[in-house]
Amino acid sequence: MLGFDKSHHGQTASYTKYDIGQMRRTVLITGGAGFLGSQLCDVYIARDYRVICLDDLSTGRLSNIGHLLDHPSFEFVEQDVIEPFQPKGCIDLIFNMACPASPPKYQRDPIHTFKTNIQGAENMLRLAHKHGARILQASTSEIYGDPEISPQSESYHGNVNTLGPRSCYDEGKRAAETLFYDFRQQYGVDARIARIFNTYGPRMDPGDGRVVSNFVTQVLRGDDITIYGDGSQTRSFCFVDDLIQGLCALIHLPKSPGQPVNLGNPEEFTIRELAEIVIEETHKDARIVYKDLPVDDPRQRRPDIRLAHQMLNWRPQFTLREGLRSTIPYFMAELSRNSAPSPI
């Protein structure tokens, strides 16, 4: 598992304030039983932090953190982030990751998704203020909506529909960014925002419904690959190890960037290309079938990561094929446990 001391891409972020000559540090990770949050739990346990993982297990899985449950520095709190949370002891860092990320899952209860983004963010910002903690928000490329420019830089304000099936997520995440800005302005909270682009890798839920988990599990099961629309829409896929390095570099940057930072892999693929690469990398045959494109499905998505490179000296190291070579065996193991539901 990754640690900060891994000299990664010449990262400039300094960890001194949090790692040296201080009392034991505590990190709170909301959504810590999810795909990304559980990887953060591992990173901070390895760095000898006290880790509090708050999760309502709505899309996360206990199996992601099962190996940590008996660890003396790890505490799991099963709770909705919408509810107030009063931890024992002082919190130094907060990663606010709690929110379903897969479109079928966040659309299941859109009002709750919206509240998770807004009330959850407010609760965590108030906690950060009270504890003098540094807080990072897991924002998203979805705040750019269906972008009119490519690649998307942080200065682009987006093209988002307030009324639609994706709005609970997109507008919820936009409003959360506003709260982060306001708490910084009004109370001086050290609030940082990562705009995460599509990320994949081990610990993704095979039944998650996102495109990489769907395509890989479909091919491994011998099912047809389902492309929504004609497959000409694009996405840029970031391998999870790269993303986690970026999140850690951002929260440990001594001085806040004072603006959101895109984190993603700028290599852009059409969904049809992704399907072909998955077929090649699994060494299996699969038929492609076409289904209706969901409403408001963005046409393209590609991050401009110049800011992350300048401020964090960060850029992704894994190509899509390399990342898939680590991800496919994970999905094979998950499917062989026979507990994974079929893709949505």
* Residues at the site binding ligand NAD, with contacts judged by CB under 6 A: 30-31, 33-37, 55-60, 80-82, 97-101, 116, 120, 138, 140, 196, 198-199
Name residue 139's beta-bridge partners: 195
**Among this protein's residues, is 169 annotated catalytic?**
yes
Residue 139 CB, shortest distance to ligand UDP, in Å, is: 13
- Only one of the segments 19-27, 105-113, 227-235, 239-247 lies at the binding site for ligand UDP (rule: CB under 6 A); that segment is 227-235
Residue whose C-alpha is closest to residue 53's, from 43, 70, 61, 65: 65
Residue 271 CB, shortest distance to ligand UDP, in Å, is: 5
Residue whose C-alpha is closest to residue 216's, from 230, 208, 206: 206
Distant-in-sequence contacts of 162-166, Cβ < 8 A, 24+ apart = 164/295, 164/296, 165/103, 165/107, 165/110, 165/294, 165/295, 165/296, 166/103, 166/107, 166/142, 166/295, 166/296
Binding mask 264-283 for ligand UDP (x = CB under 6 A): -------x------------
Residue 223 CB, shortest distance to ligand NAD, in Å, is: 22
Give me the catalytic one of 18, 44, 106, 169. Answer: 169
Nearer to ligand NAD, 9 or 112 (CB): 112
Nearer to ligand NAD, 12 or 159 (CB): 159
Nearer to ligand UDP, 70 or 292 (CB): 292
Site for ligand UDP in 67-106 (CB under 6 A): 103
Interface residue with ligand UDP among 15, 181, 228, 330 (CB under 6 A) is 228
Nearer to ligand UDP, 7 or 162 (CB): 162
Q: Which residues bind ligand UDP (CB under 6 A)?
A: 103, 198, 210-211, 214, 226-228, 233, 235, 271, 294, 297
